Structure 1
Amino acid sequence: MSFRASVCSNMQRKPSKDDALSRATFECNGVSPRHWETFRAAPTPSSSNTEFRVCCYNVLCQSTTMKTMYLYNHLSILYSVPIFAVGYSAFYKKRTGLMNDGCAIFVRKTKFEVVSYRVVEYFVAPGTSMDRDQIGQILRLRCRKTGQEIVYANTHLIFNSARGDIKIGQLAMLFANISDELSKSSCPVIINGDFNIEPLSYVYTYVSESRWAAPRDAVAADYFTHPFTLASVYHHFNENGEKEVSTYHKEVANPDFIFYSIEKKKTVDSSTQVFEVPELRLLRRLGLPDLTTLEKTLGPWPNYHVPSDHIPLVADFVLSKTDSKL
């Protein structure tokens, strides 16, 4: 059984040169705002394990850019990534309603076989709290090397910061569909996306602690629960106690998350140990910057070097085939 502490004395940090923000900041200012943070050495390659990378990125879509041109300087350079030409399967779902944005998942074909795919639409009925157009996607993947399966989901929740109740409703629908998928056969889960919440908010608590209790003076003092035991890849605060940043424009926030299946968590004083399941273990992550560093270097996004108002979350995992059950 392996574990990871929320404050890791054995974590190794190495400045990143792999992402656009770090490269540009180093070239212009001589510092790197992001670091590769390694928690354990990669296992010896075998037929029972494989490494894979997860990248979660809120890309600023063209329609949003055009509607909010006053926020951004025009760039004449048009970037195009031939994603289909480099061996990926693509799954895209436009959100319901009239908006053009949505969610996409790209899966490397040589790494995973797609077993099943489903879309979760959060629109239930007009005139109710569940009448918003956001969506989620769920894939069951099978590792071509080991045969181990994993369920992977992404979503983009409602933006309104005052409607945490709707966010919980949307997550409840996503979790119910993931639970239904897992009823066929159990396997680890990765859930990521732009949740439009902040770390330590009550919606975050609902996700990370599997439950949230409404205040005692609430009209409906109920418990909201879900059946998964999840941990965030990120700690959300650096060693100096500053908040990590994943979006930076007129405001600064950290609404983007990668959650993954674990066995349990144990908190002693201010340190939390994460006991991971043997099938899915976190190897390393691309750390997030803090506001102090960003203010002293390239400033808000998007800019000439950073093409979106968010930066990507990146984590490397090892997926292993075992005889144990979650």
Structure 2
Amino acid sequence: MSYNILSQKLLHDNVHLYKHCSLPILKWNYRLRNIMKEIQRHNADILCLQEVQEDHYETQVKPSLESLGYHCEYKKRTGNKVDGCAVVFKQASFSLVSCHPVEYFKPDIPLLDRDNVGLVLLLKPKLEKGSIRSGEGSRINRSCIEHSLNLTSAYSHHSSKRGRPEITTRGHSRRAMTVDYIFYSPTSRDTSLNSESDGLQLLARLALFDEIDLHTISGLPNANNSSDHLPLLACFRMPNLQASCEYENRF
């Protein structure tokens, strides 16, 4: 699951964007209850959370997630920012091998001249699990980024109902758009060996809205959706996990 939960300070700093909302539904404690209900309902093995305000993380978000059996890692944004990102995972499903925070700020590079950060976690699956509900996602800039990673998006970015673009947020221009993604490394079939290579097989994903749907729920946030972003959720199968189990069980 990947979810930008909307930092309360950013909400206050940009309150003009939320004139369509009544004041009670913008209060942090109201929003936190809805956000935690959303997380519990989807019950993901891995959560990637953005715009997590540091003080709220330490006093409320982290304790709430730990009470649900999650291990939490956090990285605050650089500069004078008060929010950051968190990657959390179910301790019953994974063990942590390593965690590496990343700071992207580069003052003379237009794509990177902002206080963005990331977290890279290496996790080891616990062997009884064969599929994961995941949020290996992040927001990206639409400028060109080149890499050699074999990644594909879990989403088609077009609604199957109407053929219209899927949306994940309504941006500062008030135009609905997609800026949140879940990327993964897919399996590929080796026909010579009649086997699948390392990677993940996408089994299902949580449906997203298009702009027409967004109007029917009174925009974002609203009384039930307490962020200005929608959560993304994908379920993956790990084809080589069974082979790994059989190998490790011999020793």
Superposition TM-score, scaled by structure 1 size: 0.54
Aligned to 1:300: 219
Q: Aligned partner of 1:144: which letter? A: K
Q: Secondary structure at the match of 2:9?
A: helix
Q: Aligned partner of 1:92: which letter? A: Y
Give the conservation status (yes or no) of the 8 Å contact 2:2–2:136.
no
Aligned to 1:262: 186
Superposition deviation, residue 70 in structure 1: 2.7
Q: Secondary structure at the match of 2:11?
A: helix
- Supply the distance in 1 between the matched residues of 2:223 and 2:129 (Cα, whole angstroms): 43
Instruction: Indicate how the Cα distance of structure 1 residues 277 and 308 shifts in structure 2: closer, same or farther if over 3 A, else same.
Output: farther
Tell whether 2:154 aligns with 1:233.
yes
Tell whether 2:209 aligns with 1:283.
no
Superposition deviation, residue 120 in structure 1: 1.1
- Supply the distance in 2 between the matched residues of 1:260 and 1:312 (Cα, whole angstroms): 17
- Supply the distance in 1 between the matched residues of 2:99 and 2:178 (Cα, whole angstroms): 28
Aligned to 1:61: 7
Give the conservation status (yes or no) of the 8 Å contact 2:151–2:183.
yes
Superposition deviation, residue 264 in structure 1: 5.6
* Higher helix residue share: 2
Aligned to 1:243: 165
Residue of 100, 105, 110 corresponding to 1:118: 100
Q: Secondary structure at the match of 2:87?
A: strand
Aligned to 2:140: 195
Q: Secondary structure at the match of 2:4?
A: coil
Deviations 1:293-319 (A, max 9, x none): 222x12210111210000100011122
- Supply the distance in 1 between the matched residues of 2:136 and 2:224 (Cα, whole angstroms): 28
The gaps in structure 2 that reach 5 residues or longer are: 37-63, 190-195, 245-251
Aligned to 1:28: none
Aligned to 2:43: none
Superposition deviation, residue 228 in structure 1: 1.5
Q: Aligned partner of 2:204: which letter? A: R
Superposition deviation, residue 131 in structure 1: 3.8
Aligned to 2:247: none
Q: Aligned partner of 2:207: which letter? A: G
Aligned to 1:24: none
Give the conservation status (yes or no) of the 8 Å contact 1:115–1:139.
yes
- Supply the distance in 2 between the matched residues of 1:259 and 1:128 (Cα, whole angstroms): 24
Aligned to 2:127: 145
* Higher strand residue share: 1
Instruction: Indicate how the Cα distance of structure 1 residues 228 and 264 shifts in structure 2: closer, same or farther if over 3 A, else same.
Output: farther
Tell whether 2:23 aligns with 1:74.
yes
What are the residue-to-residue correspondences of 1:153-164 with 2, within 5 Å?
Answer: none
The gaps in structure 1 that reach 5 residues or longer are: 1-54, 153-189, 207-223, 266-275
Q: Which runs of 4+ in 1 moved over 3 A?
A: 126-131, 276-279
- Supply the distance in 1 between the matched residues of 2:129 and 2:163 (Cα, whole angstroms): 41
Deviations 1:2-45 (A, max 9, x none): xxxxxxxxxxxxxxxxxxxxxxxxxxxxxxxxxxxxxxxxxxxx
Superposition deviation, residue 263 in structure 1: 4.5
